[in-house]
Structures are given as structure tokens and as C-alpha cells.
Amino acid sequence: MIIPGITRAGKTEFVWGARTYVMGIVNLSPDSFSGDGLSTIDAALAQARQMAADGADILDVGGESTRPGFTPVSTEEELKRVIPVIERLTPSVNVPISIDSTKYEVVRQAVDAGAAIINDQWGLKTEPRLAVLAAARNLPLILMSNQRDKGAFDPHIKRDTAFYDNVMTELIGSLRRSIETARQAGVPPENIIIDPGLGFGKTWRYDLWIIRRLEELKVLERPVLLGPSRKSFIKMVLNVPPEERVEGTAAAVAIGISKGADIVRVHDVKAMVRVCKVSDAIMREDSG
């Protein structure tokens, strides 16, 4: 099922269904789970520019780790990490920058500095004012389903189809509530993107199941962002460290595209752009 429509971020148009778009991760947190955290502005700028050169359609800049058990940082520290990068990056690349934060003041200043997309990992459940900001600035808003407030699903519970049916029902319901909050704040439907939130309050088997059943999210009639890059479900299958999970990420990206992913959020941009091109050539009639 193709979700029709166009989403605009700055000068960029995302035509849903035409191809899969690639979001490159620019991680300014030193304790990132993936081992890619950058500690200097120059290193972040160099990585981001390389990602743009390698074919990234969006650069997602974040300054706080979201790994399980992460230590939250203050608003001041997060601002110190992300704002100088966004200010210098915006005029030097031709792709939109996304701000990956749940803090209103961080997002507001990031937008003032040039960010053109808001990526909220709590789907407006902790900071609904982000929807007001997105509506006022006419910015795309990524809404992720995050179950960490409920704790991860008990890995000892016996899984069967009925269990996963309930999990998918919860996931769709969570995203539907986030969409409703955004719409009530005035965000137009074409500016809403949804993300199932792999790893956020889900076991690794749940992540596999989400990818397997990703097409069910199309009932929400919004484009889907999938973020499988270097996640722990790949570790559980392959038993390799984060920097050796490129093949596992590629498999998840390709299958995610076959199940309806519209954007993939990744660390290894050059390799995943190639995976997307081949997957699109197979799955999308007008590609290739």
C-alpha cells in the first residue's frame, strides 16, 4: 500500500512511494550504544558532510544517548552539543537537518539554527508542545512509539501469535494517539511521519516481529520510518559488536522496505543507500 502525498522539509520534497529515503545518524553523545558518538564539532561536521555526499536524504542530529540505562543530560549540555553543529552544517549541505530531541528548548533553538524536521522519540507523550512548535513552523514531525515508560516486555513470557497480535495492537494504538495529539495541535497530516521505535521498551524478538509485520502500520496512513541500524536484535542473532552489524542492518533494511518502510535511519549511509536502491528496484515498479 502506497501512502500518497508529499512532505516538504525546507527546499526538499519527499514523494512517498517513489523511493526509500535515507536518514543518516549524526550522534553527538559520547556514550552512544553504537560506538559512533562524536566528541568534537569538526568531527561531527566531517561525518555529516560525508553522509550527505554518500547519498543521505536527511541528517539526524542528536546530543543525548538513548541506549538502555542511559544517563540523561541537561538542557544546557544538549544545547552545547547540537546547536553549533546545526548552525555550521545548515549552510554547507543540501539536505534537511532533523533534530533528534525530546526537550522543547533544545528543539526550539535547533529549529532557529536551521533544523527543518523534528524527531520526537516519545511521540509527544512527554512534551506535547513540540507539536505546537511543528505546527507553528510548518515542520515535519516524526512520532516514535516508545514503551520504555512501561518497561520492556518480559522475555520469559511465552510468545505466540496472539501475544504478538496484542503487541501490534498496542503499537498501532500508541502511534494513533500521538497522531491525534499532533493533529489537535494543528500539524497537517502530510507533516506527520511515524516510527515503531525498535528497541524502545521492546525485546529483541519483538523488534523482529515488528519488521515482519511492518505493513500493518499502513492502517495509520502515514509514511513509516524504520530505525534498525546496529540495534541489539542484530547482536542477539549474530553475536557481533555494533561496528560489525552492517550486514544485519542491511537485511533489516531490505526486508523493512519490502514491508513498506519509507525512510530508514542508519549509521552506515553509503552501504545502506545501495541496499535501498536495489530493494527499490525490486519492490517499487518505477524504480531502477
Task: Determine whether 212 is an active site residue.
Answer: no
Residue among 26, 103, 13 at smallest CA distance from 60: 26
Which residue among the candidates 81, 103, 245, 265 is catalytic per the annotation? Answer: 265
Which residue among the candidates 108, 231, 245, 259 is catalytic per the annotation? Answer: 231
Task: Determine whether 265 is an active site residue.
Answer: yes
DSSP state letters, 84-150: HHHHHHGGG-SS-EEEE-S-HHHHHHHHHHT--EEEETTTTSS-THHHHHHHHHT--EEEE---GGG
**Collapsing DSSP states into helix, strand and coil, what is residue 22?**
strand
Pairwise CA distance, residues 17 & 260, whole Å:
9
Pairwise CA distance, residues 84 & 286, whole Å:
40
Q: Over the range 159-172, which residues count as b (16 or more CB within 10 Å of their CB) and which as e?
A: eeeeebeebbeebb
Task: Collect all residues with Cβ–Cβ distance below 8 Å to 141 and sequence separation of at least 6.
Answer: 117, 118, 120, 130, 131, 134, 182, 187, 191, 192, 193
How many of the other CB atoms lie within 10 Å of CB of 87?
15
Pairwise CA distance, residues 142 & 178, whole Å:
10
Q: Where are the beta strands (DSSP E) in 110-269?
A: 117-120, 141-144, 192-195, 225-226, 263-266
Point out which residues pair with 142 in neighbouring strands. Answer: 119, 193
Residues involved in catalysis: 231, 265
